[in-house]
Structure 1
Amino acid sequence: MTQTRSVEWLLAAMMFAWGVGLLLPGNTMSLPQYRLLSEWAPEFVWAAWSLAIGGVRFVALYINGSWKRTPLIRSICAIFGIVWWLLLCVLFMTANSGPMPAGLLWFPVFIGFEGYSAFRSARDSYHSGALQRWVRL
């Protein structure tokens, strides 16, 4: 469990930055790519979602190892990250807003690294004994 967590730190920072970006002045949700999100909830809700996932992940990464449940929290945050980036990828692909932005290709990369992070942190959870109550192998 002493391996670097730099990918997880990066993904937590990106999730947190996304939330900060939604809080900046302007109406991001008025763009066609975000139409469906804006129908589900207002912009501040999505900002809070992103900030919460990134913030919880930062805390779990910072205290990782001091409390044996932190790898499990990291894994759950990575799964939420997969869902978030996948949702954004689908929304950007289905929005009829002109040519596909080059940045759209980042989302599958994020999803792949979130999956890798979920796997590694789940493995850490198992080895730390955090999952012994639920998993009997």
Structure 2
Amino acid sequence: MIFLHIRTRFADAFFPRLSEWVAAAVICGCAWMLAVNKDLMASAPKPFQLMLDVATQPTWAKVCLFLGAARLIILFINGAWRRSPHARSMMATLSCFLWMQIVLSFSATLGLSVVGFAGFLVMDFLNIIRAARDARTVDDAYAGSRIGGPL
């Protein structure tokens, strides 16, 4: 059923959720960059100092991989599972913690990275609101169908 839903509804759901897809792809890209470039954080310790205080580079790579992959999976099954808007909202919230960590870490350099990652932070704040609105719509429809119809 999920695969049939993905096949028939993917195109309809892709563009309205484009910012979520972009955020998930960027997080996966960060995971790839942190995994491939083993000395990325060590070669520029000042911008990454706050992140290195929290965890090592391999740990950050794993966190980004898990977060990005989980987000992509949830976006693929969006709509086929009643709780998928809730999961989208939760993943956007978790992504905000990552974006905030990156923004705070790069704020020491006051470079373009701060602006770019702050943009992802704001975008995911909006994604939380949009996914929560979708969750409310689904929950209201589900409640209405259980009670005998909408009020």
Is TM > 0.5 for Structure 1 vs Structure 2? yes
Structure 1 unpaired stretches of 5+: none
1:112 is aligned to 122
* In structure 2, distance between residues paired with 1:73 and 1:84: 17
In the alignment, structure 1 residue 14 sits paired with structure 2 residue 26: yes
In the alignment, structure 1 residue 55 sits paired with structure 2 residue 43: no
Equivalent pair of 2:50/2:104 in contact (CA under 8 Å): no
* In structure 2, distance between residues paired with 1:114 and 1:22: 21
- Percent identity over paired residues: 25
* In structure 1, distance between residues paired with 2:101 and 2:125: 15
Amino acid at match of 2:24: A
Q: State which structure, 1 or 2, has the greater radius of gyration over its C-alpha atoms.
A: 2
2:132 is aligned to 122
Deviation at 1:94, TM superposition (A): 2.4
Alignment partner of 1:5 out of 17, 24, 39 = 17
1:23 is aligned to 35
Query: Would you say how many aligned residue pairs link Structure 1 and Structure 2?
Result: 128
Structure 2 unpaired stretches of 5+: 1-11, 144-151
> Could you tell which deviates more after superposition, 4-13 or 19-28?
19-28
In the alignment, structure 1 residue 77 sits paired with structure 2 residue 91: yes
Residues 75 and 43 of structure 1, relative CA distance in 2, 3 Å threshold: same
Which structure has more helix as a fraction of its residues?
Answer: 2
CA deviation digits over 1:53-88, x for unaligned, max 9?
A: 111110111110000111111111111111111111
CA RMSD in angstroms comes to 2.1
* In structure 2, distance between residues paired with 1:84 and 1:40: 12
Deviation at 1:47, TM superposition (A): 0.7
